[in-house]
């Protein structure tokens, strides 16, 4: 079959799926936005997309191995989105949507939403690092909004990829002060949750972000100030140093600094308070006093409206996470000198501690280098699975087999 014939057949299949779906949608009280006929912009997008995208693919391809944190950190959209984050989360949670911000290339940089919907979205890689441009994922609201520079809705089987036929997506471009497209904001949910006001909500949120882009500027340094970098060590140790001098931080302030370093998007006051104290009854004045002390120690390096770092801070836990994102197990193990802030009982720190421990261990078990399992095994004497993994990787004539075998015996006692 010729390439052109194959494209015609695929398009006919998609049109057949659409015609079979329309009666179901109408019976369910969710008629498609464009009526029964397929919209011209959708069929045109299908024709373009079918040259590069298989409708049977199960998820979006990944950009840069999924590691887009640094792209988000440097994005002009980050600050106004952070200022609006609580509202974006509220919209997503209340209506059962996933909210996503993508850059001008169609790569998702940030998402929020309820656990159930985010889990569904992650199955198709509607998550940070996923590529949703037309060439990568075919007809969808993100790709149409970027291509047409207009708000776009793509409903159910209008999506080129069959795995997306259970979804409806509402999307609009975000313009910078000079009129250029910086990215898009998308609200997505299952088609049975479609809502006539969803696109109005998207437009309103985009307008708020664009206002933030025009009015928000990055923090400026005092004349002559050089903002020396703070070095935070929190893997197995607990200290913060600037220009060789230890900062006088109490354990709670080290916890705050660690959380802000690990989550550069920042925290709402309510979320940071919960991450530090959980359900413990702590007064607002006590919480604010800890923030104020940290801010003074950093020379004003903590934002006020939404708690986030505005001063340069390097952190070994962040470096471990970055190494894992780049599948650099060697560097991750070198930096992983022990659990995150081992004495801390703050819920947010405990969550991150577990996350890092699990990620490092999984990287070791996925590695084909025995020295990784042996090095990790020094800190995990009772982890039989790690010692067994080391034994499988070590050759029969290697003297290190005795070390791994001895550790395994101890772990199995």
Residue 188 has pLDDT above 90, yes or no: yes
3-class SS letters over the chain: CCHHHHHHHHHHHHHHHHHHHHHHHHHCCCCCCCCCCCCHHHHHHHHHHCCCCCCCCCCCCECHHHCCHHHHHCCCCHHHHHHCHHHHHHHHHHHCCEEEEEECCCEEEEEEECHHHHHHHHHCCCCCCEECCHHHHCCCHHHHHHHHCCCEEEEHHHCCCHHHCCEEEEEEEEECCCCCEEEEEEEEEEHHHCCCCHHHHHHHHHHHHHHHHHHCCCCCCCCCCCCCCEEEECECCCEEEECCEECCCCHHHHHHHHHHHHCCCCECHHHHHHHHHCCCCCCHHHHHHHHHHHHHHCCCCECCCCECECCCEEEHHHHHHHHHHCCCHHHHHHHCCCCECCCCCCHHHHHHHHHHHHHHHHHHHHCCCHHHHHHHHHHCCCCHHHHHHHHHHCCCCCCHHHHHHHHHHHHHC
pLDDT in tens, 14-42: 665 656 655 655 554 555 555 556 788 88
pLDDT in tens, 92-127: 887 789 999 999 999 999 999 888 888 899 999 999
Q: Please tell me which residue, 319 or 224, carries the higher pLDDT value.
A: 319
- Residues of the chain with pLDDT > 70, as a percent, come to 87
What pLDDT does 34 receive?
54
pLDDT in tens, 307-327: 888 888 899 999 999 889 888
pLDDT in tens, 328-384: 999 999 999 999 999 999 999 999 999 999 999 999 999 999 999 999 998 888 999
Q: What is the mean pLDDT of residues 132-151?
A: 93
Residue 219 has pLDDT above 80, yes or no: no
Cut 0.75: pTM above it: no
């Amino acid at each position: 079959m010729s390439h052109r014939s194959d494209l015609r057949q695929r398009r006919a299949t998609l049109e057949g799926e659409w015609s079979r779906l329309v009666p179901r949608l109408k019976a369910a009280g969710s008629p498609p936005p464009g009526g029964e006929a397929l919209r011209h912009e959708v069929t045109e997008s299908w024709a373009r997309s079918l040259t590069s995208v298989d409708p049977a693919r199960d998820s979006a391809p990944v950009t840069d191995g999924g590691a887009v944190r640094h792209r988000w950190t440097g994005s002009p959209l980050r600050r106004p989105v952070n200022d609006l984050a609580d509202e974006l989360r509220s919209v997503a949670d209340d209506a059962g949507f996933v909210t996503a911000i993508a850059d001008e290339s169609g790569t998702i940089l940030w998402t929020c939403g309820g656990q159930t919907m985010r889990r569904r979205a992650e199955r198709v890689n509607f998550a940070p690092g996923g590529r949703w441009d037309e060439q990568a994922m075919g007809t969808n609201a993100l790709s149409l909004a970027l291509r047409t520079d207009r708000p776009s809705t793509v409903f159910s089987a209008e999506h080129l990829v069959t795995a997306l036929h259970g979804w409806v997506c509402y999307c609009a471009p975000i313009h910078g002060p000079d009129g250029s497209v910086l990215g898009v904001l998308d609200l997505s949910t299952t088609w049975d949750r479609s809502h006539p006001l969803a696109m109005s909500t998207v437009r309103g949120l985009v307008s708020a972000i664009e206002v933030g882009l025009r009015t928000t500027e990055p923090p400026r340094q005092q004349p002559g100030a050089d903002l020396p970098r703070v070095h935070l060590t929190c893997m197995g140790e607990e200290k913060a140093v600037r220009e060789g001098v230890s900062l006088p931080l109490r354990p709670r302030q080290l916890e705050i600094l660690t959380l802000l370093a690990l989550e550069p998007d920042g925290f709402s006051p309510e979320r940071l308070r919960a991450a530090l104290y959980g359900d413990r009854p702590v007064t607002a004045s006590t919480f604010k006093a800890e923030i104020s002390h940290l801010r003074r120690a950093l020379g004003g390096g903590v934002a006020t409206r939404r708690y986030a770092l505005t001063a340069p801070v390097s952190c070994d836990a962040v470096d471990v996470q970055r190494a894992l994102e780049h599948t650099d197990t060697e560097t991750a193990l070198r930096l992983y000198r022990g659990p995150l802030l081992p004495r801390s009982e703050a819920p947010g720190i405990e969550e991150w501690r577990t996350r890092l421990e699990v990620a490092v261990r999984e990287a070791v078990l996925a590695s084909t280098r025995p020295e990784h399992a042996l090095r990790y095994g020094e800190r995990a004497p009772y982890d039989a699975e790690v010692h067994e993994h080391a034994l499988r990787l070590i050759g029969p004539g290697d003297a290190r087999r005795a070390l791994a075998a001895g550790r395994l015996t101890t772990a199995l006692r």
